[in-house]
A and B are shown apart, each in its own frame.
Chain A
Amino acid sequence: MFDLKKYRKKSPWILHYNAGSCNGCDIEILASLSPKYDLERFGVINTGNPKQSDIFLVTGPVTYRSRERLVELYTQMPEPKVVIAVGSCTCTGGVFRDMYNVEDGIDRYIPVDVYIAGCAASPELIIDGIVKALEILEQKSKEMEKPHKLFREATSEGGIVNRRHSALKVGEIDEEN
Chain B
Amino acid sequence: MKKIKVSLESVRDEIKSFYDYKQWHLLTLNGLALAENKMEVQWIFSKYEAMDEIVVYYTEIENTETIPSIVDMIPSAIISQREIVDMFGVKVDGSEKGLYLDEDSMQRPLSGCSI
Contacts and interface: CB of A to CB of B under 8 A. Distances in A.
Direct contact of A and B (CB under 8 A): yes
Interface of A: 64-65, 100-101
Chain B: number of interface residues, binned into ranges: under 10
Q: Does more than half of chain A's interface fall in helix, strand or loop, or is it mixed?
A: loop
Contacts, number: 11
Interface of B: 100-102, 105-106, 109
Given A64-B102, A100-B109, 6 more contacts: A64-B105, A65-B102, A100-B105, A101-B100, A101-B105, A101-B106
Q: SS class of chain B's interface: helix, strand, loop or mixed?
A: loop
A165 B70 CA distance: 61
B100 to A, nearest CB: 8
A100 to B, nearest CB: 4
A115 B87 CA distance: 34
B33 to A, nearest CB: 15
Q: Which 4 A-B pairs have the closest CB atoms?
A: A100-B106, A64-B105, A100-B109, A101-B105
A101 B109 CA distance: 10
A67 to B, nearest CB: 10
